[in-house]
Structure 1
Amino acid sequence: MTSQSIITGNPVLQVPPASSAAAVAFFGGSLAFHADVSDVATTLEAGGDPGFVVLDSRSTASWEQGRVPGAVHLPAALIAEQAAGLLDPAVPVITYCWGPGCNGATKAALALAELGYQVKEMLGGFEYWVREGFAYETGEGPERRTADPLTAPRGAEDCGC
């Protein structure tokens, strides 16, 4: 059996994987643009200056429903006119919105990048922040839910990634 017959008979490998060099460029680039919810939470929970600011790009109603502790609230539509008054251009910004089904954090990241900010998008958004069991703030005060075992192993401090 030739490698070509394996590739054409297999939908996963119908398009062969990229070269190692291309994979390094792609995945390294992806990490330059994205932050993991667990990494953001671990860094914030460690205390001190995390070296970044977290920006919630959702509406005020969404913000009141729940947000990452210490996040700055700036809806994506207001970034062009209000970012300079809220954010230090020398400090990287981590954007988030509702979750993976929402591109609000991507829109916010683009708007900030167009203004010259260093920016990453937090993968999973607020949905995965809550699903992974991290503390969050609401209009009524702090809350925390039990971690969803499909997003974080039971009884573990982190996912081991």
Structure 2
Amino acid sequence: MTQRTSQLSTPATAVGPVLRVPPATPADAASYFAASLAFHTDVSDVAASLEAARAAGGDPGFVVVDSRSTESWDQGRIPGAVHLPTARIPELAAEFLDRDVPVVVHCWGPGCNGATRAALALAGLGYQVKEMLGGMEYWIREGFAYETADGPARRAADPLTAPVGADDCGC
């Protein structure tokens, strides 16, 4: 019993860096994560929404905007996406986007903040916008179809990013 008592009285910082800063309260965590979902989506959810809309012959209720360069766009793009390079958003957004339709913006991948900059520019112009986490890198790595300057393409899903033999990850 003495050993158990001494373990319980050990300060949280002694267990390592994870709890050096204590977790948020459940109420604060719920607010934070709800806000995060208002600002972000992921490639799997975007792909599922686009596929469901296509199968139903309808509209997904949002437009996908690719904020990368023309060279990147030619290398590979999400079918049906609008190409709107970040630097040209102030000049071209009104020509290609409807302020009443939410925008899902992406760039190359998690190592790039181009989609964040594009989302900021679009929000500043009055568009409802979400950033697609993972970008084009994870779109391709999860095995979703894409288009190139040479035509349609698709790679097998990377088992480190998508479940093998299942339609979704269950999350």
**Amino acid in structure 2 at the alignment position of 1:32:** A
Q: 1:88 aligns with which of 98, 123, 126?
A: 98
- Paired amino acid for 2:137: E
Q: Matches of 1:109 and 1:7 in 2, distance apart?
A: 39
Q: Residue type matched to 1:9 in 2?
A: A
Structure 1 unaligned runs (5+)?
none
Aligned length: 161
Alignment of 1:111-150 (within 5 A): 111-150=121-160
Task: Give 1 or 2 for the bigger CA radius of gyration.
Answer: 2
Which has the larger helix fraction? 2
- Percent of counterpart pairs with the same letter? 71
* Structure 1 position 18 matched with structure 2 position 24: yes
Letter of the structure 2 residue corresponding to residue 74 of structure 1: L
Normalised by the size of structure 1, how large is the TM-score?
Answer: 0.97
Which runs of structure 2 are paired with 1:7-156 in the superposition (5 Å)? Answer: 7-10=12-15, 11-46=17-52, 47=54, 48-156=58-166
- Separation (CA, whole Å) in 2 of partners of 1:53 and 1:6: 50
Deviations 1:40-74 (A, max 9, x none): 00110111210000000000000000001100000
Cα shift at 1:86: 0.4
Gapped regions of structure 2 (runs ≥ 5): 1-5
Runs of 4+ in 1 over 6 A off after TM superposition: none
Q: Please report the TM-score for the alignment, with normalisation by the length of structure 2.
A: 0.91
Distance 1:74 1:98 in 2: 13
| Alpha carbons of structure 1 residues 139 and 15: separation in structure 2 relative to 1, 3 Å | same
What is the alpha-carbon distance in structure 2 between the residues aligned to residue 69 and residue 5 of structure 1?
Answer: 55
Query: In the TM superposition, what is the alpha-carbon distance from 1:3 to its structure 2 partner?
Result: 5.9
